[in-house]
Structure 1
Amino acid sequence: MSPNESVILNRSNINDQGLYSLTCGSVAKLIQLNVIISSEKSVTEGEAAGFTFHYFTAGKLGRYRVERNKQLVFELDLTSGNTSQGSGFENRTSVAPHWRSDGDLTLTLQRVKPEDRGDYIVQVFKDNKREHVQAVRMRVSPTPNTEDRNPEQITFTPQPPCKEKTALICVSVAAVLLIAGAFYCGQKNPRICVSGGAADGGAGTELEMPPYTDTPVPVVNGHA
């Protein structure tokens, strides 16, 4: 008992549930203690969450109700089978189709959103009294971020020089450059370097070539 005359029940379990009478002198007070079994659940955004709950439903009257932070999520009339869904949970909640014969009142919440996190109370009411209560604290994890990609960005991958299929292209390019270099050398210098010997493993050979001159146009009677 605490200093303010409150009775504290430590380490309570399911067997502590029941009706308690507190008497002080001539004053008696009745207190109904309900022990709630609680659990935790972690769900990734966009996935489905299931709140496991079983109850004796054969011929049973009452209402099956699920609340989040004291707001309606889902309610099922066990007599008529009519259902109600809370604001923000429309078309996302359901129970198994054979709940009446199987007693399986597990609630499925589809397409979980970040704002769905919170404390859920799953319970059955009969004659305005709670028959059975469970509590679930649900946490919602964000969807893993995917790497942002710019579709307009183009990345060029450098290719290895002269390998396999590209060898023929590389040889052709080298030949063109060699011919172009020889022509330029002939224009500027009568001495042209021929690299054939060097390519065969020997020293380069120099060939003496006459200077390049235009052939003069013969002059006849002073006219070209």
Structure 2
Amino acid sequence: MVDLNADLGEGFGNWTLTDDDALLACVTSANVACGFHAGDASVMRRVCDAAAAGGVRIGAQVSYRDLAGFGRRSMDVPPAELTAEIAYQIGALRVFAQAAGSTVSYVKPHGALYNRAVWDDGQAAAVVAGVRLAGGGLAVLGLPGSRLLAHAVEAGLPAVEEAFADRAYTPRGTLVPRGEPGAVVHDPDDVVRRSVGIAVERAVTGADGSRIPVSARSLCVHGDTPGAAALARRVRAALEEAGVAVRAFA
């Protein structure tokens, strides 16, 4: 069994990036942008309404305050400030989730914050403190072995290990930085193969050709990838054909 998640609501005003409706038709969890790297009040409300109507679990995709850089620029945010901003983003999304008859079930950092929280104790602890400040005992999605998940466990929050179908891995099991060649896997056939391998074999081929163990309860397909909706449909179909039940994590 595996959860299939995608980043949604990555638009702002008249600008749109993700095909939210098409992705919501095949994923089981929606990482909704909360306004700091993308998204605004109208976008959050629309995505929450559609997710609730489709029975898709809603998660807060929190980020550094970086609209211009799409949340992909590393920032040195003081821990207390980051904690407050994480709780602020969760709270904003929770209003729209509850109005749609649903709730925010989990939190997943985005971009530079996600990668920073893999190794930076201070930033990881600040994110978890923000989740606790928002209340509700929300689950935290993160990379296996990350400091983020370690702090979530210490705080008594559900820690959910996540893998990426369309991102390259280093031999250490971390993601190849986006600025490096080959960081994103573009070949749809390769993405599908990797997805099944992660779910069934619990392993993925790294950028150097080595076989890397991967333990994941949730699998991410990036919503901003060209053709993301069609790719997500293929991934889900291949998983189900391989005998993998695709459903939201417990």
TM-score category of the 2 structures, normalised to the smaller one: under 0.3
Instruction: Identify which of structures 1 and 2 has the higher relative contact order when contacts are C-alpha pairs closer than 8 Å and 6+ apart.
Output: 2
Structure number with larger C-alpha Rg: 1
Indicate the structure with greater helix content: 2
Q: TM-score, normalization: structure 2?
A: 0.18
Q: TM-score, normalization: structure 1?
A: 0.20
